[in-house]
Amino acid sequence: MKPRPDPDPIRTGQESGQARYYDIVTGDNRIEAGAWSYADPMQSFRGITGHLAFYPYPLDKSLVDGEVIISQPSQFYGGWISQYEAEPFKGGPGSQFW
């Protein structure tokens, strides 16, 4: 995992704070800005301080406790869908203004 090079490795989320993005590098493959973390998130997100989050869509396979996870529709969202979530999911057709 490598921090994104300048000029803009940091982005600010409206609810979470400033995120630092990382490239995921495996062998000759690079997923640009495929992971991010918050060194100092806003108060309501303190529990995720220092943890890494990953977009599931560019990965070959994503597992959580052995369960295959699918990406939330649209690459704008970093959501993961497991057997425990119920539809509808933001990001699909017609959900732009939810």
Residue 66 has a pLDDT of 92
Residues 59-93: tens digit of each pLDDT: 888 888 999 888 777 666 667 778 887 777 777 77
Mean pLDDT of the chain: 78
d(C-alpha 61, C-alpha 74), whole Å: 17
State whether residue 45 is helix, strand or coil.
Answer: helix
pLDDT(29) > 80: yes
Q: Which helix (H) or strand (E) holds 18?
A: strand 17-26
Q: What is the pLDDT of residue 7?
A: 43
**What's the Cα-to-Cα distance from 43 to each of 36, 40, 48, 55, 57, rounded to whole Å?**
18, 9, 10, 23, 28
What torsion do the CA atoms of 3, 5, 6, 12 make, to the nearest 10 degrees? Answer: -40
pTM reported for the whole predicted model = 0.66
Q: In the predicted model, what is the mean pLDDT of residues 50-58?
A: 84
Q: Which is it for strands 52-54 and 63-64: parallel, antiparallel or unpaired?
A: unpaired
